[in-house]
Structure 1
Amino acid sequence: MKNHFSFTAAAMFFLFLAFTVHTEAGTLTTTMPISVQISGGCSLSATGINFGNYAAGPSAPALTATGTISVTCPSSLPYKVSLNSGTAIQNGVIGPNGPVVNRAMTFSNNEQLGYELYKDAARTTIWGDSDLANTYPNGSSQSGTGIGANQTLTVFGLVPGGQLISAPTNASGTDTITVTLLF
């Protein structure tokens, strides 16, 4: 019986050594750089739109003009450019030869001349901010992706023809649009 105990004790001892004793041939270490770069660094600028001279009256032709928005964002960074309603909003005035317009230029006598801003040369897709701040729900923002260099977006303006206003002769109508870049 003594041999049985010694054999069991010896087996347990070797089993213990098998799980606790190991040999190492050496140890090596290295570094692993971990970093992150915060996206951003976008820039934004815009040129104005000048429609020129408007001959008010029922037979007045529509006027078109363009402006530009310059966006620079890092490569692959998605962005959206929105245009608000401007400082003067018309109350649903309809020109006899044109669509309902809500943006307006105001003259010194508070008369208003309606206009609209579009994303496309055909002037069918209104540029607004309905999908962002929603100050001008008639249109949505323009989406893009940064390329690490300047990207020029064209803004297509339209003053519908046939608007009747009694602004002073040679008066200038103005409005200010806020351009917002979300990235």
Structure 2
Amino acid sequence: MNATTRRGLSAAFAATLAITPAWRPVAAATYSNGTATAQFNVTLTIQANCSVSANPLAFGTSGVLTSAINQQTTLSITCSNSTPYNVGLDAGGVSGSTVSARLMAGTASGNTSTTLGFQLYQDSGHTTIWGNTQGTDTVGGTGNGSAQTVNVYGQVQTQTTPKPDTYQAAVTATVYF
């Protein structure tokens, strides 16, 4: 490469650098001829809305069901501020299960038709069954914009002990608002 070629390449490189944008923004110029202003609105519409999440309810391990087994879990309800709501719990997904007589079913192969009774209550005294009919057996509240914890009280009643297995049911919590 001769000196003329190098000078030509150096000039091309320098020209490229001259048109490459700066790494930081350039400050705006200052003007003194006058000003003009405009206002614009900033809006957000909050609508009534709720969400619910649930923790599992585990009754543990038992050999025989000669006395009731009581456990509790929680639901987390988040609703827009001042939004009234009701929370219902369905019968669970086991065939034959109803709100008044909930059932868990065995999970082992060949034992899925064996059931075990349990109940869900609104109170720790196990007197008010928690169902899914608004205004009748649901739990109500009013949202405050933050998560609210609601207790669910479960009980496996004294009953004939079924075959050894893990019994389960999938109960759906629904928040109405």
* Shift, 1:54, TM fit: 2.6
Q: Which residue of 1 aligns with 2:92?
A: 86
Structure 2 CA distance for partners of 1:115 and 1:149, relative to 1, 3 Å: same
Contact 1:45-1:70 within 8 A present in 2 as well: yes
Relative to structure 1, the CA distance from residue 49 to residue 129 in structure 2 (aligned partners, 3 Å threshold; closer, same or farther) is same
- Counterparts of 1:11-160 in structure 2 under 5 Å? 37-56=45-64, 60-88=66-94, 90=96, 102-107=101-106, 108=108, 109=111, 110-131=113-134, 140-160=137-157
Q: Which amino acid in structure 2 is aligned with residue 160 of structure 1?
A: Q
Superposition deviation, residue 129 in structure 1: 1.0
Residues 64 and 156 in structure 1, CA contact (< 8 A), matched pair in contact too:
yes
1:68 partner SS: strand
Q: Which amino acid aligns with 1:143?
A: G
Partners of 1:91 and 1:178 lie apart in 2 by 13
Pick from 162, 165, 171 the counterpart of residue 166 of structure 1: 162
Identity across the alignment (%): 34
Kept in 1, the 8 Å contact 2:104–2:116? The answer is yes
Structure 2 counterpart of 1:153, which letter? Answer: V
Whether the 8 Å CA contact 1:89–1:103 is kept in 2: the answer is: no
What per-residue deviation string (whole Å, max 9, x for no partner) do you get for residues 151-183 of structure 1? 00000000001x114313xx2000000111111
Aligned CA-pair RMSD: 2.7
Q: Does 2:170 correspond to 1:176?
A: yes
Q: How far does the alpha carbon of each residue in 1:43-99 deviate from its partner, in whole angstroms, 9 at most, with x for none?
A: 211001000123335xx111000111001112111011110010125579xxxxxxx
**Partner amino acid for 1:44?**
V
**Given that residues 97 and 103 in structure 2 are in contact (C-alpha distance below 8 angstroms), is that contact kept between their aligned partners in structure 1?**
no
In the aligned structure 1, how far is the partner of 2:120 from the partner of 2:44? 39
Check the 8 A contact 2:55/2:74 in 1, yes or no.
yes
SS in structure 2 at match of 1:129 = coil
Q: TM-score, normalised by structure 1?
A: 0.65
* Distance change in 2, residues 1:39/1:91 (3 Å): closer
1:39–1:77: 8 Å Cα contact kept in structure 2?
no
Show structure 1 runs of 5+ residues with no match.
Answer: 1-32, 93-100, 133-138
Q: 1:91 to 1:121 in 2, by over 3 A?
A: closer
Match of 2:28 in 1: none
The 1:155–1:86 alpha-carbon spacing in structure 2 relative to 1, beyond 3 Å, is same
